[in-house]
Amino acid sequence: MRLAIFDDSGLVSQICSGDDSTIQAMKKDTANSLIIGDNEDIDMARPVYVRDGSLQAQPELTDTEKNAEVMAAVRQRCQAELLGSDKWLLPDRPAYISEKDSEWRTYRQELRDFPSTVAGSVIDASELNFPEAPSFT
């Protein structure tokens, strides 16, 4: 007999094996658990969930779902890059930075536009070439 222990989202974190009395005692002490048979095949290399009283593997994401995840990451990275480059356009920036003012403004606009140039088509973030920040050399 085995016991699957899972979190509030249903994600199985542990599978315990033992005799009936041990598993029953563990079940009483564990709020989120499910008794499963010894013959149930479980691949812990992929996330396993408890749904409706049974174990279920996490389904593969559709291309639309993959694209949504990539686009969220793209928007987050662009926002972080914009926030990180704010300092280069402050009025009290050093003179050597002021010389690159137009390059920094162009770069920041490219960051703002970038998500719309890849929206709907990308399912793998490694395919993307983000705009590059100006250098100071």
pLDDT at 108: 95
| First-residue to last-residue Cα distance in the chain | 66
pTM: 0.58
The tens-digit pLDDT sequence of the chain (137 residues) is 899 999 888 888 888 999 999 989 999 998 899 998 888 877 777 788 888 888 887 767 778 888 888 899 999 999 999 999 998 888 888 777 778 889 999 999 999 999 998 877 777 888 889 999 998 76
Is the CA virtual torsion 17, 21, 23, 26 positive or negative? negative
The distance from CA 81 to its chain's CA centroid, rounded to whole angstroms, is: 18
Cα separation, 104 vs 5, whole angstroms:
52
Cα separation, 94 vs 136, whole angstroms:
12
Write down the domain spans for the chain. 2-57, 63-127
Q: To which H or E segment does residue 122 belong? A: none
Cα separation, 25 vs 21, whole angstroms:
6
